[in-house]
């Protein structure tokens, strides 16, 4: 037998068949095929595993890209979505008649992926040519950031968006957002408020109903945009004419509590809120608290009649000023005589109101002011609500001054709502900025009889008293003037005052309360340099009612007489002050007799 040292077996032919025996099956090739199969199977397994890994990696990467394209970066805004997954804008706000006050429109916002930006300096130069207000250092920092998403400019116009596309810079992309639009601009700005760049409510109705609006549920307000324009127009004219630092007003539906118009000046454009000074966003009607002056005499007289302290035939001695401790209470235009209860309102007598308040007493005064909602913040669907400033402690002198609106500060909204209770049968209804389609219940404060008597006296104030300039023929306007000096540094400043008129019409069946206020007005030749509520605020109310009447289908009509409750002379017991004077006279008489 020959020795095999390697190489090919000499008994095996090159074809794999044993030499000299062609009938035997080949054995070698079978072993060789099995080895190759194992190698191929192993390679195939490795390829499959590798492919799965790549698929998973692509899935993760794709998911992240989808997340970025839809949600933005971690610092980007979250977009409200329908059940279908499609992003939606903030819901609309309309006025009571369906007129659009606020809506959201789709807009493109520009962002950069710094990892894709090839030349940050070149990209910055190109963007600055389109948006010269951008700061280059800030822009460079965005284009070279380590993140994959950096906002460059939000809410571009279609023209701006096309201009960016024309630059052809890789790494610049757009994300669809929704921009809040206020079609009427400054009209109703303090009611609507505004949103930030991410569409989140940060003031006014936008903040109060932020969640509802973000969920796509629209809102219908009680505001009538037509009347809003009228009120703003007249207040702007008066503010300019009397060089006031501010003005405000509202129209309130006394039967439902709906605020039909509300204006505060100066105002701002909610489409660009930061373009105006911060003080322009201050709401004088709901946030500002002021000493509202003689408008408070309405509540003093109504309380006195309701509690039986006096009657329409009663009255008080207003011959000379009252001196209490270190204080002197006097009348602006003194009549220097005994005044009946209606005359105290007609001539706006501080002396008469102060004596009436003493007869009412502090506990009852506070009770009725509280029931009228004047000792707590108003209830209204706005975050901007002022807190009343009340005397603490509430002494006897405070009771006297609060009777004519001094020493207590409230919002104009609260005065309008309380006046609504006085004229509308004695029912106080909570003010609202939401449209009411059903009757609204209220809380009784005064009897219907007291309300009728107050309406008759308020009508007299306009027909022959301090509110004559608020009269509008055919509309039976009634109301009350109010003027107060502003308190600065613990002292009242004579040439800085708040002048107000609050009125209602028609007085035989009042439906609307109209209030106008001017902050620090200056008199002019047309007012003989007077700047009191009767001269500067009452005419504003008259002009608003004159334009509002035809708009609301309220035709002027003949009044048919005074239609006033005639006061019946009655013997009224001496008031608190009269009793004190009488007691003092008796003591003095006894001293003289003893001498």
pLDDT, position 373: 97
Confidence at residue 143, expressed as pLDDT on a 0 to 100 scale: 94
- Residue 285 is classified by DSSP as T
- Residue 166 inside a domain? The answer is yes
> What is the C-alpha to C-alpha distance for residues 360 and 352, in angstroms, rounded to an integer?
12
Query: Residue 310 falls within a domain, yes or no?
Result: yes
Enter the DSSP assignment of 135: -
Q: How far apart are CA 389 and CA 410, in angstroms?
A: 7
Q: How many Cα atoms occupy the beta-carbon half-sphere of 452 within 13 Å?
A: 8
Asked if 294 is an active-site residue, the reply is yes
Element of type H or E holding 81:
none
Let me know if residue 438 belongs to a domain: yes
Kindly state whether residue 350 falls inside one of the protein's structural domains: yes
Look at residue 305 in the predicted model and tell me its pLDDT: 98
Q: For 423-444, what is each residue's pLDDT tens digit?
A: 999 999 999 999 998 878 899 9
Instruction: Give residue 83's pLDDT.
Output: 43
> Is 318 part of a structural domain of the chain?
yes
Other C-beta atoms closer than 10 Å to the C-beta of 353 total 28
Same domain as 275, residue 202: no
CATH number for the domain spanning 193: value is: 3.90.1310.10
**214 and 274 belong to one structural domain:** no
Co-location of 214 and 241 in the same domain? no
Residue 361 lies in domain = 229-551
Tell me the C-alpha distance between 393 and 402, whole Å.
13
Within this chain, do residues 459 and 390 fall inside the same structural domain, yes or no? yes
Q: Distance between CA atoms of 263 and 36, rounded to whole angstroms? A: 90
Rounded-to-integer distance, Cα 304 and Cα 365, Å: 9
- DSSP-derived pairing of the beta strands 478-488 and 259-265: unpaired
Domain closes at, from 551, 573, 588: 551
Q: What is the CA radius of gyration of the chain?
A: 40
Query: Do residues 479 and 503 touch, judged by C-beta distance below 8 A?
Result: yes
**Buried-state track 494-511, b at ≥16 Cβ within 10 A, e below 16:** eeebbbbbbbbbbbeebb
| Separation of alpha carbons 6 and 32, rounded Å | 18
C-alpha to C-alpha distance for 234 and 263, rounded to whole angstroms: 10
235 shares a domain with 200: no
List pLDDT tens digits, range 451-506.
999 999 999 999 999 999 999 999 999 999 999 999 888 888 888 999 999 999 99
Tens of pLDDT along 85-110? 444 689 999 999 999 999 999 888 99
**How far is residue 17's CA from residue 25's CA, in Å, rounded to a whole number?**
7
The helix/strand/coil state of 499 is: strand
Reported as type and span, the H/E element at residue 587 is helix 576-594
Q: Are 284 and 264 in contact (CB under 8 A)?
A: yes
Q: Can you give the CATH number for the domain in which 397 is found?
A: 3.40.710.10
| 281 shares its domain with 191 | no
209 falls within a domain: yes
Residue found under tokens 């130069």: 125
Same domain assignment for residues 312 and 190: no
Angle between helices 225-241 and 538-551 (to 10 degrees): 150
Ranges in the chain, pLDDT < 50? 1-32, 49, 53, 60-87, 561-571, 584-595
Say yes or no: 142 and 265 in one domain: no
- DSSP-assigned states of every residue in 392-458: SS--HHHHHHHTTT-S-BB-HHHHHHHHHHHHTTTEE---BSB---S----EE-S-HHHHHHHHHHH
* Same domain assignment for residues 366 and 489: yes
Counting the structural domains of the chain, the total is: 2
E strand or H helix at 169, and its extent? none
The domain boundary, picked from 188, 220, 252, lies at: 220
Residues 179 and 310 in one domain: no
Separation CA 418–CA 513 (nearest Å): 10
Helix (H) or strand (E) holding 437: none
This prediction has a pTM of 0.79
The residue among 183, 201, 220 that closes a domain is: 220
Decide the pairing of beta strands 93-94 and 219-220. parallel
Among 173, 208, 256, 294, the one annotated catalytic:
294
DSSP bridge pairs for 323: 328
Query: Do both 179 and 243 map to the same domain?
Result: no
Which secondary structure element, helix H or strand E, spans residue 392, and what is its range?
none
Taking the C-alpha atoms of residue 32 and residue 10, their distance in angstroms, rounded to an integer, is 18
Residue 50 is predicted with a pLDDT of 52
Shared domain check, 351 and 247: yes
Cis ω for the linkage preceding 38 (within 30 of 0): no
Query: How remote is the C-alpha of 44 from its chain's centroid?
Result: 70
- Residue 579 counted as domain residue: no
Judge whether 79 lies within some domain: no
Cβ within 8 Å of residue 433, ≥6 positions away: 191, 205, 221, 222, 223, 258, 259, 262, 380, 381, 382
Say if residues 222 and 436 touch (Cβ distance below 8 Å): yes
């Amino acid at each position: 037998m020959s020795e095999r040292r390697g190489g090919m077996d000499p008994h095996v032919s090159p074809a794999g068949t044993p030499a000299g025996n062609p009938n035997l099956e080949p054995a070698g090739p079978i072993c060789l095929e099995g080895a190759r199969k194992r190698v191929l199977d192993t390679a195939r397994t490795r390829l499959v595993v590798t492919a799965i890994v790549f698929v998973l990696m692509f899935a993760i990467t794709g998911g992240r890209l989808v997340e970025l394209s839809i949600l933005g970066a971690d610092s980007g805004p979250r977009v409200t979505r329908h059940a279908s997954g499609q992003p939606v804008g903030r819901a609309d706000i309309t006025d009571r008649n369906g007129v659009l006050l606020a809506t959201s429109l789709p807009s493109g916002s520009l962002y950069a992926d710094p990892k894709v930006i090839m030349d940050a300096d070149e990209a910055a130069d190109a963007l600055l040519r389109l948006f010269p207000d951008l700061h280059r250092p800030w822009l460079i920092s965005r284009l070279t950031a380590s993140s994959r998403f950096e906002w460059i400019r939000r809410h571009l116009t279609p023209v701006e968006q096309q201009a960016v596309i024309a630059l052809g810079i890789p790494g610049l992309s757009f994300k669809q957002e929704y921009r809040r639009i206020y079609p009427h601009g400054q009209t109703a700005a303090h009611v609507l408020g505004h949103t930030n760049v991410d569409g989140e409510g940060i003031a006014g109705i936008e903040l109060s109903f932020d969640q509802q609006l973000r969920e796509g549920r629209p809102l219908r307000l009680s505001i009538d945009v037509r009347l809003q324009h009228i009120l703003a127009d007249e207040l702007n004219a008066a503010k300019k004419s009397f060089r006031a630092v501010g003005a405000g007003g509202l129209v309130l539906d006394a039967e439902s509590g709906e605020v039909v118009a509300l204006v505060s000046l100066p105002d701002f454009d909610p489409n660009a809120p930061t373009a105006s000074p911060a003080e322009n966003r201050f709401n004088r009607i709901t946030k500002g608290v002021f000493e509202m002056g003689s408008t408070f005499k309405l509540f003093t007289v109504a309380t006195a009649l309701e509690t039986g302290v006096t009657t329409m035939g009663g009255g008080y001695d207003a011959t000379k000023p009252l001196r209490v401790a270190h204080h002197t209470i006097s009348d602006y235009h003194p009549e220097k005589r005994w005044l009946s209860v209606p005359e105290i309102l007609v001539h706006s007598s501080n002396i008469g109101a102060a004596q009436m308040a003493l007869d009412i007493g502090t506990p009852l005064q506070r009770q009725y002011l509280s029931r009228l909602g004047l000792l707590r913040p108003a209830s209204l669907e706005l975050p901007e609500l002022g807190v009343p400033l009340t005397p603490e402690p509430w002494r006897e002198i405070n009771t006297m001054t609060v009777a004519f609106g001094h020493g207590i500060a409230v919002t104009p909204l609260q005065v309008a709502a309380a006046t609504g209770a006085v004229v509308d049968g004695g029912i106080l209804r909570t003010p609202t900025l939401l449209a009411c389609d059903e009757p609204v219940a209220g809380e009784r404060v005064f009897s219907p009889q007291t309300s009728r008597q107050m309406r008759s006296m308020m009508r007299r104030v306009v027909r022959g008293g301090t509110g004559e300039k608020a009269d509008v023929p055919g509309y039976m306007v009634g109301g009350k003037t109010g003027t107060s000096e502003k308190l600065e540094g613990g002292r009242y400043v004579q040439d800085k005052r708040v002048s107000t008129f609050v009125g209602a019409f028609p007085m035989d069946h009042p439906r609307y309360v109209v209030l106008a206020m001017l902050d620090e007005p200056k008199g002019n030749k047309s007012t003989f340099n007077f700047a009191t509520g009767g001269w500067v605020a009452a005419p504003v109310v008259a002009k608003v009612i004159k334009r509002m009447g035809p708009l609301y289908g309220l035709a002027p009509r003949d009044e048919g007489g005074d239609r006033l409750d005639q006061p019946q002379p009655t013997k009224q017991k001496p008031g608190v002050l009269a009793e004190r004077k009488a007691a003092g006279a008796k003591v003095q008489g006894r001293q003289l007799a003893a001498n």
